[in-house]
Structure 1
Amino acid sequence: MAEIKSHEFEGFLQRSAAAYSLFVIYGPDRGLVSERASQIAAKSGVALDDPFSLIKLDIGDLQKDPGRLMDEAGSIGLFGGEKLIWIRGAANEKYLVDALQLLAAKPPEGTSVIVEAGDLKKGSLLRKVVEGARTVAVIPCYADDARALNALIDNELAAEGLRITPAARQTLVELIGGDRIASRNEVRKLALYCRGMDTIEEHHVDEIIGDASAISVDDAVDAILSGNTTTFLHAMQKITASKTAIFLVIQACLKQFQLLDTMRAEMDEKRLQAGQVMQTLGRHLHFRRKPIIEQALRIWSAEAIARETNRLHAAILQTRKRQSLEDSIALQTLLSTTLQSGRKG
């Protein structure tokens, strides 16, 4: 296996990618998975506007025809030349894993395969197969750290000839992250807003970024916990308008319920009040969010939190299996949680 870590990717893309024909790109950062798949595709030498050279498949296409990947990999293009098979929305489907195992043992000549997958757990079927094969380039994609976000900011602002103050940079880094494409869109929006200026100040970031990105995700989660349907739908409209992935909201909601689960267990075990638990396990929360979390602790029982956590887990799994319905599944699940909060409140 060749596992390409985040800081190694640019060098791999320039120097080593051409030595591989099989690529598996996975991780929780959907935007980064998509971006890196596109970069590898651009380096493949295949004309991406040629439908005879580029075959794009959703995992649903393979579900209908499990043998299609092997058929496509073994066939010759209509006009000859290199061919690229690009698969999206993969998880741990056995028909995909079996095909990749065969291809890894004997890589196809003149054909490259790129697989975009979701957040694969260590030891999962797909990871086991590709991590055990020397012929597969495995590229995990996790949320950008501060270094990667600063590099993203520098690249996008340099293209517009803009500088940014340290205070503005720190504020911007705190507001983006989690999804590479969403982060890049936010920085480009800021650059467009400040076009013609010399330097971006902190108030510029607050004016153009502060009402979208991470803050609106928190707004949506807070509305869910408060049971406020109107505020929730308004927050989701802002998220959609900012091109932030809706998946980030359901992921943030799950994390919030996991925290509630820990806090509620502490309350029940030590017979503490919600406010007392907030002083320890809730210290890191923003002061504006603390009353909402404290109220949620009062109205959600440990059993109800566990059921909701399992339901959110199941919904996230469905978004991975049925990527074309990701937004609909996430929105329907989150709205249901909001209604439950409202009834309990």
Structure 2
Amino acid sequence: MTALKAHEVARFLARPDLSEGIFLAYGPDGGLVRETAQRLIRYLSGEDPAAANVTIFDGPELDAEPGRLITEARSVSLFGGKRIIRVRSAGKALVMPLTELRDDPGGTAIVLEAGNLTPRDALRALVEAARLGRALPCYPDTDETLTNLMRESFNQSGIRIDTDVIPTLRDILGNDREITRRELEKLTLYAAGTKTLTREDVLTLCADNGALAIDAILDATGGGHAEKLEMALNRALAASINPQQLLAMLTSHFAALRRWRVDVDNGKSARAVLDSARPKPHFSRIGQMEQQLRLWSEPALAMAADRLLQATSDTRRKPALSETVLRRTTLALCMMAATH
């Protein structure tokens, strides 16, 4: 029985221990499921992918006639080459034909793509129990795997990135691997000539104004600008940015201000503190950050941290009120800044 863990899939794809049998890529991240299947097929196709005999089915077309899978797997390739069958949106209708093929696939590799399957799902259970079966779970990227993917992509292309490029990308992108890959390819192509990439480039190409609205919320809240805050909140929420995500970013922003405020209270200038920060705030925001450090004292920042903690707790208990809590909390913090 072979049931791989999610963190083991990348190592498996680099050197699969089977060349025939049933391979099941499954999970909630549809982009990663497709990428996993594609990478596996490229490896199984060998040194001459064009010579491989790859047949593609959509699951629903096999539901009414699942026996077609057996017929296809047992047929002899007219042109030689590795026989590979790829089934998108595979479902439980394939359990019976796969039961017949699992112990004797006849040299054929059957690559299945499916959604999020529970351990008790018949299709997943069959593949995990098969001697010639490998189940490959595909779950959304963590911050660590997403960061590694970005660095690897830029390093392979010889692109030098500013220190705030990856944090900015993490803020903009979701966890769907396909979307991430597409955005990285766009950035890599854009920077192919200069071999450099800046935060401004990322915002211009990928943000759809989302990251710009987030920065505007942070700076309007910290700087006490109520009108700007209202406009920035409206832009961010219209772009479907989650209120809980915005609260998390506000929490990080005020935690950074609090750390920097300690250095200012110990005698360093606000500019010197910001220049030595890692990652360093983007140059376009330095002036506003200096102003915020002048406006907020350590006790006031402690109160802000408590207020954001309570707001985060409130939104987790009552998600339906997330937007209301966000607006109320940011306005209160904005007024605190304006009265200093």
What is the TM-score with the length of structure 2 in the denominator?
0.60
Check conservation: 1:175, 1:215, Cα contact below 8 A. no
Once the two structures are overlaid, the 10-residue window that deviates more, 205-214 or 184-193, is 205-214
What is the rounded CA distance, in whole Å, between the counterparts of 2:7 and 2:38 in structure 1?
A: 18
Task: Please state whether the residue corresponding to 1:12 is helix, strand or coil.
Answer: helix
**Which residue in 1 is equivalent to 2:314?**
281
**Which residue in 1 is equivalent to 2:97?**
99
Check conservation: 2:20, 2:107, Cα contact below 8 A. no
Once the two structures are overlaid, the 10-residue window that deviates more, 36-45 or 199-208, is 199-208
CA shift, 1:77, in A, is 1.6
- CA offset digits 1:229-279 (Å, max 9, x no partner): xx9xx969xxxxxxxxxxxx9xx9xx99xxxxxxxxxxxxxxxxxxxx966
**Which residue in 2 is equivalent to 1:84?**
84
- Change in Cα spacing, 1:202 to 1:80, as seen in structure 2 (3 Å) is closer
Are 1:170 and 2:167 an aligned pair? yes
CA shift, 1:133, in A, is 2.1
Task: Please state whether the residue corresponding to 2:175 is helix, strand or coil.
Answer: coil
What is the rounded CA distance, in whole Å, between the counterparts of 1:5 and 1:194 in structure 2?
A: 35
Pick one of 278, 286, 290 that aligns with 2:323: 290
Are 1:147 and 2:180 an aligned pair? no
Residue-pair matches, total: 239
**Which residue in 1 is equivalent to 2:128?**
131
Check conservation: 1:24, 1:139, Cα contact below 8 A. yes
Are 1:33 and 2:66 an aligned pair? no
Question: In the alignment, residue 206 of structure 2 is paired with which amino acid?
Answer: I
Check conservation: 2:142, 2:175, Cα contact below 8 A. no
Check conservation: 2:84, 2:108, Cα contact below 8 A. yes
Matches within 5 A, 1:1-345: 1-45=1-45, 49=50, 53-91=53-91, 93=92, 95-104=93-102, 106-211=103-208, 280-282=313-315, 290-291=323-324
- CA offset digits 1:174-201 (Å, max 9, x no partner): 2224211210111222233344445433
Report sequence identity in percent: 33
- Change in Cα spacing, 1:75 to 1:194, as seen in structure 2 (3 Å) is closer
Check conservation: 2:2, 2:129, Cα contact below 8 A. no
Once the two structures are overlaid, the 10-residue window that deviates more, 20-29 or 120-129, is 120-129
Check conservation: 1:2, 1:138, Cα contact below 8 A. yes
Check conservation: 1:84, 1:113, Cα contact below 8 A. yes
What is the rounded CA distance, in whole Å, between the counterparts of 2:153 and 2:212 in structure 1?
A: 22
CA shift, 1:48, in A, is 5.1
CA shift, 1:102, in A, is 2.2
CA shift, 1:160, in A, is 3.0
Check conservation: 2:21, 2:110, Cα contact below 8 A. yes
What is the rounded CA distance, in whole Å, between the counterparts of 2:317 and 2:205 in structure 1?
A: 26
- CA offset digits 1:57-106 (Å, max 9, x no partner): 11122023221111111221224443111100123x2x3011222222x2
Question: In the alignment, residue 82 of structure 1 is paired with which amino acid?
Answer: K
- Change in Cα spacing, 1:64 to 1:283, as seen in structure 2 (3 Å) is closer
What is the rounded CA distance, in whole Å, between the counterparts of 1:163 and 1:70 in structure 2?
A: 50
CA shift, 1:24, in A, is 0.6
Task: Please state whether the residue corresponding to 2:35 is helix, strand or coil.
Answer: helix
Check conservation: 1:20, 1:137, Cα contact below 8 A. no
Question: In the alignment, residue 175 of structure 2 is paired with which amino acid?
Answer: G
Task: Please state whether the residue corresponding to 2:315 is helix, strand or coil.
Answer: coil
RMSD of aligned C-alpha atoms? 3.8
What is the rounded CA distance, in whole Å, between the counterparts of 2:312 and 2:14 in structure 1?
A: 50
Task: Please state whether the residue corresponding to 2:139 is helix, strand or coil.
Answer: coil
Check conservation: 2:19, 2:44, Cα contact below 8 A. no
What is the rounded CA distance, in whole Å, between the counterparts of 2:59 and 2:108 in structure 1?
A: 19
**Gap runs ≥5 in structure 2:** 214-234, 246-309, 329-340
What is the TM-score with the length of structure 1 in the denominator?
0.59
Q: Which has the larger radius of gyration?
A: 2
Check conservation: 1:162, 1:200, Cα contact below 8 A. yes
- Change in Cα spacing, 1:48 to 1:116, as seen in structure 2 (3 Å) is farther
Question: In the alignment, residue 98 of structure 1 is paired with which amino acid?
Answer: M
Check conservation: 2:86, 2:110, Cα contact below 8 A. yes
Check conservation: 1:25, 1:141, Cα contact below 8 A. yes
- Change in Cα spacing, 1:22 to 1:279, as seen in structure 2 (3 Å) is closer
What is the rounded CA distance, in whole Å, between the counterparts of 1:87 and 1:215 in structure 2?
A: 41
**Gap runs ≥5 in structure 1:** 217-230, 237-248, 257-276, 296-345
What is the rounded CA distance, in whole Å, between the counterparts of 2:23 and 2:210 in structure 1?
A: 30
